[in-house]
């Protein structure tokens, strides 16, 4: 009887622990969502794919990331 209760308790503890995200994981997800919002705003502001629009879009993305204290993304334009 005791071993069944112990096993059931262990399973419940493991399930509860795996269902919650860690503080660092939650923070990372929030930052990624904010980075995605910045990218979407930049794409909406400059939807064309001309060299000028690409440069303006990258600048807007960089400004948004800086304003939110986020790391920069690599440029989307190819470097030749």
Q: pLDDT (tens digit, 9 = 90+) per residue, 43-80?
A: 999 999 999 999 999 999 999 999 999 999 876 566 65
Look at residue 33 in the predicted model and tell me its pLDDT: 97
**Mean pLDDT, residues 9-24 taken together:** 66
Q: Range with the lowest mean pLDDT among 5-9, 20-24, 40-44?
A: 5-9
Handedness of CA 57, 62, 67, 73 (dihedral sign): positive
Residue whose token pair is 């939807």: 47
Q: Are 38 and 63 spatial neighbours (Cβ–Cβ below 8 Å)?
A: no
């Amino acid at each position: 009887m005791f071993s069944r209760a112990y096993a059931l308790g262990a399973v419940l503890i493991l399930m509860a622990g795996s269902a919650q995200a860690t503080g660092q994981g939650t923070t990372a997800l929030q930052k990624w969502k904010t980075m995605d919002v910045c990218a979407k705003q930049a794409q909406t502001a400059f939807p064309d794919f001309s060299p000028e629009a690409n440069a303006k879009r990258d600048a807007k993305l960089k400004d948004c990331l800086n304003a939110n204290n986020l790391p920069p993304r690599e440029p989307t334009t190819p470097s030749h």
